[in-house]
């Protein structure tokens, strides 16, 4: 085995930090043995904090209308896809169904849809908050003003997912139209943190023009920002976008990144994403075995599922919420992990807690 890689992985599990060059080296020199070594360490670390518990989040994709034109995304403004928007009653009905299925976290996700003003969105959030006070409300609705984030927080939202997409400003510009700026995105992420949200960032693996150094920069950003969550999935081309002819990202590299990030921040919430499950039928199971500890089954009404296609061949578009929930439960049981129905908070962790794994 590559001894330098082993040395770096051991150092990372001890010190939770590497230099940019060391991360780059690790990503450039992966092979099956190194990936397995790293996954073994990472899943042990995850078990030492979370046992074999896997948190579930119910994902409600409530609008695919978007004012942005990100070059990779199947629901970008210029995409000819058919559009939909759920109203408050539809969204509350999804929550009700989810609650009965045992979900205690709802993730409300949409494109940047101008219809959802602060007033409308706060009204929805506070309704959910009042109806389900024992649930966490996660928003994933893109870039907004700090005032807007503040109002939504006061209405009852307590977590926010806003992937940074790439920590390299030059790479960011290649993935987005000129009107979108890396600095604005980073400012939003900082605003969310300052307000008091649990913040989730993240990136695609294998997005067009991405280099190993870009991924190393993502690792460095995670190290310094210390997000509560990090969503990582492979890039998958969408035929409705300018990136339609670019190859998909690698499942193996995505799994390797999950393991590295678990070692950077042992208690981080790390989803095994739908994109991973789309590229590999056992992708989410492999994600957990590489260090992930969250799954996000789809709670959106089946009638709109196929319209929320950020990328081609997305899985689960024909399955009822209950089916997705139980399918994931079975999948986790098949690798001796258990889906738990609680709010799924990040757990405290301190150095020395490690390796008391079950
Ligand atoms: N492939 C994989 N992930 C994608 N996303 C958007 N488009 C794609 C794609 N083609 C991810 C982005 C975004 C999240 C909601 O979905 O990272 O932040
Ligand atoms: Fe949706 Fe398996 S998770 S069908």
Atom from ligand 1 closest to the CA of residue 109: 15
Q: Which atom of ligand 1 is nearest to the CA of 311?
A: 10
**For position 354, what pLDDT does the model report?**
57
**Site residues for ligand 2, CB cut-off 6 Å:** 297, 316, 319, 323-324, 327-328
Q: What is the pLDDT of residue 281?
A: 97
Ligand 2: centre distance to CA 319 (Å)? 7
3-state secondary structure of 54: strand
Counting Cβ atoms within 10 Å, is residue 69 exposed (0-12), middle (13-18) or buried (19+)? middle
Which residue lies with its CA nearest to atom 14 of ligand 1? 163
Reference 12, options 217, 201, 219; nearest CA is 219
Ligand nearest to the CA of 325: 2
How much is the pLDDT for 149? 99
Residues 8-36, mean pLDDT to the nearest whole number: 98
CA of 314 to the centre of ligand 1 (A): 11
Minimal-distance CA residue to ligand 1 atom 7: 73
* Confidence at residue 1, expressed as pLDDT on a 0 to 100 scale: 80
182-195 and 146-155 helices, crossing angle to 10°: 30
pLDDT digits (tens, 9 = 90+) for 156-180: 999 999 999 999 999 999 999 999 9
Whether residue 28 contacts residue 78, with contact meaning beta carbons closer than 8 Å, is answered with no
Q: In what order do the strands lie in the sheet with 229-234?
A: 58-63, 105-110, 136-140, 159-161, 198-205, 229-234
The model's pLDDT over 128-161, given as tens digits with 9 standing for 90+, comes to 999 999 999 999 999 999 999 999 999 999 999 9
Q: Which residues line ligand 1 (CB under 6 A)?
A: 72-73, 163, 165, 204, 233, 235-236, 238, 275, 310-311
Predicted confidence (pLDDT) per residue in 265-322, tens digit: 999 999 999 999 999 999 999 999 999 999 999 999 999 999 999 999 999 998 888 9
Q: What is the mean pLDDT of the chain?
A: 96
Atom of ligand 2 nearest to the CA of 323: 4
**pLDDT value at residue 110:** 98
Output the CA 204–ligand 1 centroid distance in Å. Answer: 7
Please tell me the distance between residue 170's alpha carbon and the centre of ligand 2 in angstroms: 36
For residues 13 and 264, what is the distance between their CA atoms, to the nearest angstrom?
A: 7
Looking at all shown ligands, the one closest to residue 326's CA atom is: 2
Whose C-alpha lies nearest to ligand 1, atom 13? 163
Sheet with 53-56, strands from edge to edge, namely: 294-295, 53-56, 338-340
CA of 324 to the centre of ligand 2 (A): 4
Residue 291: the pLDDT is 98
User: Ligand 2 center to residue 273 CA distance, Å?
Assistant: 12
- Encode pLDDT of 320-329 as tens digits: 889 999 999 9
Out of 297, 321, 329, 332, mutate this one to test ligand 2's pocket (max ligand atoms within 8 Å of CB): namely 297
* Among the ranges given (14-23, 176-185, 321-330), the one the predictor scored with the smallest mean pLDDT: 321-330
CA neighbours closer than 13 Å in the CB half-sphere of residue 34: 22
E-strand spans in the chain?
A: 53-56, 58-63, 105-110, 136-140, 159-161, 198-205, 229-234, 294-295, 338-340
> Residue 353 above 70 pLDDT?
no
> If you measure from the C-alpha of residue 30 to the centroid of ligand 2, how many angstroms do you get, rounded to a whole number?
30
| Nearest ligand to the C-alpha atom of residue 328 | 2
| Helix-strand-coil split of the chain, %, nearest 5 | 45, 15, 40
CA distance linking residue 99 with residue 105, whole number of Å: 9
pLDDT at residue 356 in the model:
47
Helices and strands: H and E segment counts in the chain: 14, 9
Contact, 122 vs 151, CB < 8 A? yes
Residue 185 clears pLDDT 50, i.e. is over it: yes
Closest CA to 192 of 141, 138, 150: 150
> Mapping DSSP to helix (H, G, I), strand (E, B) and coil, where does residue 157 land?
coil
Give the mean pLDDT of 210-226.
98
301/37 Cα distance (integer angstroms): 40
The pLDDT of residue 357 is: 43
């Amino acid at each position: 085995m590559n001894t330098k890689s082993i040395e770096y992985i051991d150092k990372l599990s001890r010190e939770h930090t590497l230099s940019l060059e060391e991360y780059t080296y690790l990503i450039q020199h992966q092979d099956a043995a190194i990936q397995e070594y790293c996954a073994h360490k990472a899943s042990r670390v995850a078990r030492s904090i979370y046992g074999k518990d896997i948190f579930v989040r119910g994902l409600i994709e409530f609008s695919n209308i978007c004012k942005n034109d990100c070059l990779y995304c199947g629901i970008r403004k210029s995409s000819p896809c058919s559009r939909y928007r759920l109203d408050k009653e539809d969204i509350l009905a999804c929550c009700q169904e989810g609650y009965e299925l045992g979900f205690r976290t709802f993730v409300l996700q949409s494109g940047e849809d101008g219809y959802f003003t602060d007033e409308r969105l706060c009204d929805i959030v506070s309704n959910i908050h009042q109806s389900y006070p024992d649930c966490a409300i996660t928003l994933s609705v893109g870039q907004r003003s700090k005032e807007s984030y503040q109002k939504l927080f006061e209405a009852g939202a307590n977590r926010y997912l806003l992937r940074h997409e790439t920590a390299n400003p030059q790479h960011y510009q290649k993935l987005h139209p000129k009107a979108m700026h890396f600095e604005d995105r980073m400012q939003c992420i900082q605003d969310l943190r300052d307000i008091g949200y649990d913040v989730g960032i993240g990136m695609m693996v294998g997005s067009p023009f991405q280099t190993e150094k870009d991924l190393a920069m993502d690792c460095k950003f995670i190290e310094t920002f210390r997000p509560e969550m990090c969503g990582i999935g492979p890039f998958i081309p969408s035929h409705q976008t300018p990136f339609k002819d670019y190859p998909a990202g690698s499942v193996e590299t995505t799994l390797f990144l999950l393991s590295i990030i678990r070692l950077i921040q042992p208690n981080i919430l790390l989803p095994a994403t739908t994109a991973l499950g789309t590229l590999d039928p056992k992708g989410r199971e492999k994600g957990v075995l590489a260090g992930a500890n969250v799954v996000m089954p789809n709670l959106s009404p089946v009638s709109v599922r196929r319209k929320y296609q950020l990328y081609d061949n997305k899985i689960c578009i024909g399955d009822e919420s209950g089916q997705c929930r139980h399918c994931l439960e079975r999948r986790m049981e098949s690798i001796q992990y258990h889906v738990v129905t609680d709010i799924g908070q990040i757990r405290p962790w301190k150095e020395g807690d490690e390796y008391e794994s079950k």
